[in-house]
Structure 1
C-alpha cells in the first residue's frame, strides 16, 4: 500500500508506517502525478483535494489531520466512493490557548482587564464551545452567535450576530467557511458590519480568513484606527495582504492550532479512521505519541493579581508574540508568501496549557480557580 503524506504531519511513521510505504511531500507541492499510484492521501489544510488532483489516481482514502474541510471537495469524494476522514476537535484546545494568549497580550498593551470585558464568540463548534467554557469559568461575560445551531436548537443560548456586535467589545470568530446557503460565512463580517464595530473593539479571527472582508478591515484600521485586530487566518493565504498585516496588533501565519499535542491528536484520529476503513485494529495508543513537555511544573509562592498570574503561566507554555515576531522576520527575508509558509513548515515545538502543572503555596492558593479555568493543572500545598 502506498500512502502520500504531507511532510509536515508529525508521527507519520508511528501512525501510518504499519499500513505501507510512506511518500512525504510538502503540502502545497502535492500534484496529481504524485498520487497516481497511491492508495491513500493524508494532508493538512493547505492541500486542495479535488477532481483535478484525484481524477486519474487510484486513491481510495483521503484523510485531513485538521478540523476544517473547506480544502476538500467532499462531493467529488462521495461521487468516487473515496473514503474520507477529518479530525474535528483535534486542535481545539490549542486554538483556545492561542486566543487567551492573544487577549492577555493585547489587554496588557492597551491597559484593560480581560475579566471586565464582554466577549462575543461567533461559532459554537469544538473551538467556540471550549473558549466559552474557559472564559465563563474565569468569570468573563460571554455571548455566542451560531445561526445553524440556533435554528436547530432554538435561540435560548444564542444571539444574533448584529446583537453580538452591538453588545460585545471583544469578538472572536471561530466559524467554518461556508460560501453559499442561508448560513453562509463568507465575508460574514462585511464592510457594513466592520463599520458598525464600536471604537475600541478587539476583533480576533482564528477561524477562516474569508469570513472577514479584508479590504474593509484594512480601510477601518488605516482610517479611523480605532479597532484592535488579531488575525491568524487570512484571505489568499499564503499571499496575504501586506497592508492589512502591517495594521493588525498581532499577525500570525495560521498557526493557532499548531500545538504538538493537537497535531499528534490529528494524526492519531486519521490513523484510527484509516484502520477502520481497512478493517484493521490500530495498535498505537495516543498516550504513546506524546513526549513529556520541556516545562512540566511551575510553582507560585505568593499571590499575584489574577491577570498577571494568568500571563505568567500562559507565557511559560505559549507566548503568541513569538509567532507574531517570527512572521515579521520571515517576511523581511523571503517575502510574504514564502515567509508565511516558512513559519508554518519550521514551526517550533509548542505544547498546550494542560501540560503544565502549577503548584500554589501559601496565599497563592487564591489563584486556584482562575488558573484551572484557563486550562492548567493546579495543585495546592
Structure 2
C-alpha cells in the first residue's frame, strides 16, 4: 500500500491530470476515477495531441493555480464539466471562460494548510536565528564564533500577517502560542478574529518583527511587497513568504538583504521558480525551500480526496464543495 492508502471507491468519470503530482498522488486519483496521466504535458495539449473521440469523453480536468487552464484548452474538451484545482490557488485558470462554457471550477483549501502553517513557523525561526549560517559555521569549526551573535526569536515578537485566510489563520494561531502579538492586513476586516486589523500594508510592516505573506498570486498582488515595504519592515525585521512568489519583488528583496535593510527572509516560493535569481543566490540571511510548504502525506491525501469528492459529486449531480467559479 502507498503512503496515501486508497480511496473508498472508483467513480467512472474520465479526468485529465496535468499538475506535476508525485506518483503516489496520481496513483490515488487513478484508483478513484478514470485518470489519464498528462503530468507536465499541458504545453503539448492541442487538437492533434489526442483524438477527438477521446477528448469528447473527458468531463474533468485536474489542474492547479500555477499550471492553470485557458479558454483555448477548454474548447478542446466539448464535454468538460469540472476543472478541479489541486491547490488552494486557481489564479491561472480562466474563470471567466469557464463560466461562459458552463464549466465549474473548484479548489482545495483546508487540505494542506496545517502543513503550510507548520512549515511557516520553521521558516520564521530558521531565518530569524540564522540557521544556515550557524550550521555552516559550526561544521567549519567556528563553534564559538557562531555563538557570539545574539539573534531574535519568535517568542514575544510582533507578527504581521499579510492575508488571513485558512492558512494565514493557522499561522497566526501557531504564532500566538509563542506569545507573539499578531496583527493582519486584508482588504476588509474579518469579524470575530482575535487579532487587530491594520488596513495599510506599510503600517503593518513598520510595526512588525515578522511580516508573513500568505496570499494568492495574480496581477492584483504582484510585487505588493517591494522596496518600500521592506524598508518599512526595517533592519530588525524578517520577511516570510509562503503564498505566491510574485507577491515579493525578488530583486528588491536581494538588495534589502545585502544592504542589511532587513534582518533576514524565509521563502518557500519565488517569482522565478524553479530558478533562484542570481541576486538571491548570494544574498545573506536567506532561507529558501523549494515550494514544499504544503507537502506532507496527510495534506496530499486530503488534496486527492477533495478532487475525488467533487468528481463524485459531478457524477451524482450534487453541488460542488469549494467552488470558486
TM-score range, shorter chain: 0.7 to 0.9
Aligned residues: 275
Distance 1:146 1:63 in 2: 26
Deviation at 1:114, TM superposition (A): 1.4
With the length of structure 2 as denominator, give the TM-score of the two structures.
0.76
* Residue among 255, 261, 284 paired with 1:219: 255
Name the residue aligned to 1:3.
Answer: 15
Structure 1 residues 71 and 136: alpha-carbon distance in aligned structure 2, compared to 1, 3 A threshold: same
* Residue among 154, 160, 168 paired with 2:208: 168
Distance 1:66 1:250 in 2: 23
Name the residue aligned to 1:31.
Answer: 44
1:40-79 matches, within 5 Å, as 40-58=60-78, 59-79=80-100
Distance 2:270 2:60 in 1: 29
Deviation at 1:99, TM superposition (A): 1.0
Structure 1 residues 155 and 261: alpha-carbon distance in aligned structure 2, compared to 1, 3 A threshold: closer
Q: Is the 8 A contact 1:27 1:46 kept in 2?
A: no
Q: Is 2:275 aligned against 1:261?
A: no
With the length of structure 1 as denominator, give the TM-score of the two structures.
0.66
Distance 2:185 2:171 in 1: 13
Name the residue aligned to 1:158.
Answer: 197
Q: Is the 8 A contact 1:32 1:57 kept in 2?
A: no
Name the residue aligned to 1:329.
Answer: none
Q: Is the 8 A contact 2:65 2:89 kept in 1?
A: yes
Structure 1 residues 48 and 245: alpha-carbon distance in aligned structure 2, compared to 1, 3 A threshold: farther
Greater shift in the superposed pair: 95-104 or 245-254: 245-254
Gaps of 5+ in 2: 1-12, 131-149, 319-325
Name the residue aligned to 2:173.
Answer: 133
Greater shift in the superposed pair: 141-150 or 195-204: 141-150
* Residue among 92, 98, 103 paired with 2:113: 92
Q: Is 2:286 aligned against 1:249?
A: yes
Q: Is the 8 A contact 2:230 2:261 kept in 1?
A: no
Greater shift in the superposed pair: 130-139 or 25-34: 25-34
Q: Is 2:262 aligned against 1:230?
A: no
Q: Is the 8 A contact 1:119 1:170 kept in 2?
A: yes
More helix by share: 1
RMSD over aligned CA atoms reads 2.6
Deviation at 1:13, TM superposition (A): 4.0
Q: Is the 8 A contact 2:64 2:90 kept in 1?
A: no
Q: Is the 8 A contact 2:33 2:308 kept in 1?
A: no
